[in-house]
């Protein structure tokens, strides 16, 4: 019986001009978004790979120079793009594309692509994620608002129920029908997406991306299921189909337009972000005056001098078998690491708390959950940016240590590092955040998502079985 209802529902929808028109527009937008996303991904990816190679070349080809000067010259780390970013750009346009790894300083990422774009970019971007998160639910509303309310107005609902069709079966059949109509759209898009993914990534990253793509598809399926359930519930509960439409559109507007921005502002009220000026001041204060506030840089160096002299049983720095300058440089770097870890750690924790709040907001607006999940699985959320930034910073520390060690080993003040020393620094390799950690950052999205899924299904069943005929 359920299958029969679903088939009837499906046939009716596919024959409906409004659905055909709407679906065609959405399909065209989705496919062009996928195409643009794929092109963008391959362009940026090629650039970053080339640049990463070039920055390594530049490092290796440095003329012999003071190792500390080489550390000042440093290298750049370019943020690699994960293949699935062609589905969801996430925050990629709002974080810098590269970070300069140099002596003494943990730099912030530079060059946010959004700053090189016009203001229309912030209206809405044509990415597959936008279409999937905003436009498809609208199509579902269009398909679902009159399911029960419309039949009731036409009087066919009474006939159906009098035939002995269980209301629950009716609801399930109708839900399946809508889902089948959506599948007409989503199946080709997924196939094309898969093809693009296979083209975009080598075998290794394909192995990494496939489970993520699978979960991504599952998440969107869940999102549409909950939207269908909401639409059916409202349609069963509403007095008229007009009212159902207005209520559903209102819900769509609140969840897609209003809720995300309200969440942004709430996060700023609850967890204020410090200004860049304050941040820089607290970093430089901690370095200059010490993290405890009363061990200045000079005092720290003097203490180090005493302990190194004692260690080697020497009276003067000149008597040491090593170059004290290198030891001092490394010690001051290591003090810097502690300071940077404290401040960047606190800042990034704060951003993550803000993002958790965005996720918890999903209890009011499921879009917030699916957006967070989608960015996470596409590898474009803040947690994964942080992971890359942390990896780049660890590499900086390896580089600095290698150079300082070379200073320490040579007592000659005019010592110059050779290309061997440059080569001793391994190339920067980055392994993306593993899937379990990606999901761990999405706990609240998943919880809210589950609540919505169960809640909306129950609501749909409840409303359908109790509805007035």
Partner 1 sequence: MLRSILKYEWRNLVADKAIWVVTGLFALLIGYGLLNGFAWVRFQNATLATARSEEVTRFNKLKASLTAIEQGQEKFTGDAFADPRQARTVGNNKGTRYAAMPPGALAPLAVGQSDLYPYYFKVSTLNKQTFLYNNELENPTNLLVGRFDFAFVIVYLYPLLILALSYNLISAERDEGTLAMLLAQPVALRQIVLGKILLRGGIVLALAVVCSLLGAVLSGANLLEGDTALRLGLWCAVVLFYGAFWFALAAAVNALGKSSATNAVGLVGLWLVFVVVIPAALNVTVTSLSPVPSRVELIQAIREASSAATAQGNQLLARYYEDHPELLPKNTKVDTSSFALRSTAVRETVDKAIAPVMARYDRQLLGQQNLVERYRFLSPAIVAQEALSDLAGTGLDRYRHFLGEVDKFHRGWQGFFVPLIFRQQSITAADIDRLPIFRFQEEPVGAVAGRVAGGLLGLVLPVVFLVWIALPRFKHYPVTA
Q: Which of 402, 396, 395 lies closest to 418 in space, CA to CA?
A: 402
Is residue 366 within 8 A of residue 226, CB to CB? The reply is yes
Of 127 and 225, CB closest to partner 1: 127
Of 166 and 249, CB closest to partner 1: 249
Binding status of residue 54 toward partner 1 by CB under 8 A? yes
Binding status of residue 63 toward partner 1 by CB under 8 A? yes
Q: Which residues contact 71 (CB under 8 A, 6 or more apart)?
A: 102, 103, 399, 400, 403, 404
Residues in the chain: 469
Helix (H) or strand (E) holding 225: helix 203-237
What is the per-residue DSSP string for 114-134?
GGGS-GGGGT----HHHIIII
Residue reference for tokens 């939207």: 227
Among 14, 27, 31, 51, interactor with partner 1 by CB under 8 A: 51
Of 114 and 363, CB closest to partner 1: 114
Binding status of residue 81 toward partner 1 by CB under 8 A? no
Q: What gap in Å lies between CA 244 and CA 147, rounded to an integer? A: 10
Write each residue from 236 to 275 as x if it is in contact with partner 1 (CB under 8 A), else as -, in one continuous string. Answer: -----xx--xx--x---x---xx-xxxxxx-xxx---xxx
Binding status of residue 360 toward partner 1 by CB under 8 A? no
Of 199 and 258, CB closest to partner 1: 258
Q: How would you class 326 by CB atoms within 10 Å of its CB: exposed for 0-12, middle for 13-18, buried for 19 or more?
A: buried
Looking only at residues 135 through 154 of this chain, which bind partner 1 when binding is defined by CB under 8 A? 135, 138, 142
Among 117, 218, 288, 398, interactor with partner 1 by CB under 8 A: 117
Of 66 and 210, CB closest to partner 1: 66
Looking only at residues 337 through 356 of this chain, which bind partner 1 when binding is defined by CB under 8 A? 347, 350-351, 354-355
Binding status of residue 122 toward partner 1 by CB under 8 A? yes
Among 3, 4, 12, 58, interactor with partner 1 by CB under 8 A: 58
Q: What gap in Å lies between CA 42 and CA 38, rounded to an integer? A: 6
Is residue 108 within 8 A of residue 96, CB to CB? The reply is yes
Of 121 and 437, CB closest to partner 1: 121
In whole angstroms, how close is the CB of 3 to partner 1 at the nearest point?
30
Is residue 321 within 8 A of residue 248, CB to CB? The reply is no
Among 3, 4, 47, 285, interactor with partner 1 by CB under 8 A: 47
C-alpha dist (Å) from residue 90 to 79, 115, 201, 375: 14, 15, 19, 5
Of 106-114, 174-182, 229-237, 419-427: span binding partner 1 (CB under 8 A): 106-114
Q: What gap in Å lies between CA 324 and CA 318, rounded to an integer? A: 9
Of 116 and 204, CB closest to partner 1: 116
Of 86-94, 212-220, 227-235, 419-427: span binding partner 1 (CB under 8 A): 86-94
Looking only at residues 11 through 40 of this chain, which bind partner 1 when binding is defined by CB under 8 A? 18, 29, 32, 36
């Amino acid at each position: 019986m359920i299958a029969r209802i679903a088939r009837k529902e499906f046939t009716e929808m596919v024959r409906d001009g409004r659905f055909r028109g709407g679906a065609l527009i959405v399909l065209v937008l989705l496919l062009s978004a996928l195409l643009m996303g794929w092109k963008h991904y391959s362009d940026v990816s090629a650039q970053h790979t080339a640049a990463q190679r070039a920055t390594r070349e530049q490092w290796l080809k440095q003329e012999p120079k003071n190792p500390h000067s080489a550390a000042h010259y440093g290298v750049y780390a370019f943020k690699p793009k994960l293949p699935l970013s062609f589905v969801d750009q996430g925050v990629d346009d709002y974080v810098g594309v590269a970070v300069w790894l140099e002596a003494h300083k943990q730099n912030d990422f530079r060059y946010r692509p959004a700053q090189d774009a016009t203001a229309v970019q912030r209206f809405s971007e044509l990415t597959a994620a936008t279409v999937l998160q905003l436009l498809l639910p609208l199509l579902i509303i269009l398909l679902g608002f009159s399911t029960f309310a419309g039949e009731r107005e036409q009087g066919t609902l009474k006939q159906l129920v009098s035939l002995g069709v269980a209301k629950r079966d009716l609801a399930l059949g109708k839900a399946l029908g809508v889902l089948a109509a959506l599948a007409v759209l989503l199946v080709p898009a997924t196939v094309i997406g898969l093809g693009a993914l296979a083209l975009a990534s080598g075998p290794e990253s394909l192995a990494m991306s496939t489970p993520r793509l699978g979960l991504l598809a599952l998440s969107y399926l869940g999102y549409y299921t909950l939207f269908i359930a909401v639409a059916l519930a409202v349609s069963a509960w509403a007095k008229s189909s007009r009212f159902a439409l207005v209520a559903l559109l209102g819900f769509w507007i609140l969840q897609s337009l209003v809720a995300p921005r309200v969440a942004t502002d709430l996060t700023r009220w609850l967890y204020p972000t410090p200004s860049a000026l304050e941040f820089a001041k607290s970093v430089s204060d901690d370095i200059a005056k010490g993290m405890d506030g009363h061990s200045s840089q000079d005092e720290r160096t003097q203490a180090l001098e005493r302990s190194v002299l004692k260690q080697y049983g020497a009276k003067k720095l000149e008597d040491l078998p090593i170059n004290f300058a290198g030891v001092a440089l490394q010690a001051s770097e290591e003090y810097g690491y502690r300071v940077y870890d404290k401040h960047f750690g606190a800042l990034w924790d704060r951003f993550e708390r803000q993002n958790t709040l965005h996720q918890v907001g999903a209890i009011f607006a499921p879009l917030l959950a699916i957006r967070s999940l989608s960015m996470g699985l596409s590898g474009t959320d803040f947690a994964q940016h942080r992971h890359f930034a942390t990896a780049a910073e660890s590499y900086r520390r390896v580089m600095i240590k290698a150079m300082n060690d070379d200073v320490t080993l040579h007592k000659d003040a005019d010592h110059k590092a050779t290309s061997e020393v440059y080569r001793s620094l391994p190339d920067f390799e980055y392994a993306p955040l593993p899937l379990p950690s990606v999901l761990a950052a999405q706990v609240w999205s998943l919880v809210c998502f589950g609540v919505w899924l169960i809640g909306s299904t129950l609501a749909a069943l409840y409303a359908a079985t109790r509805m007035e005929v």
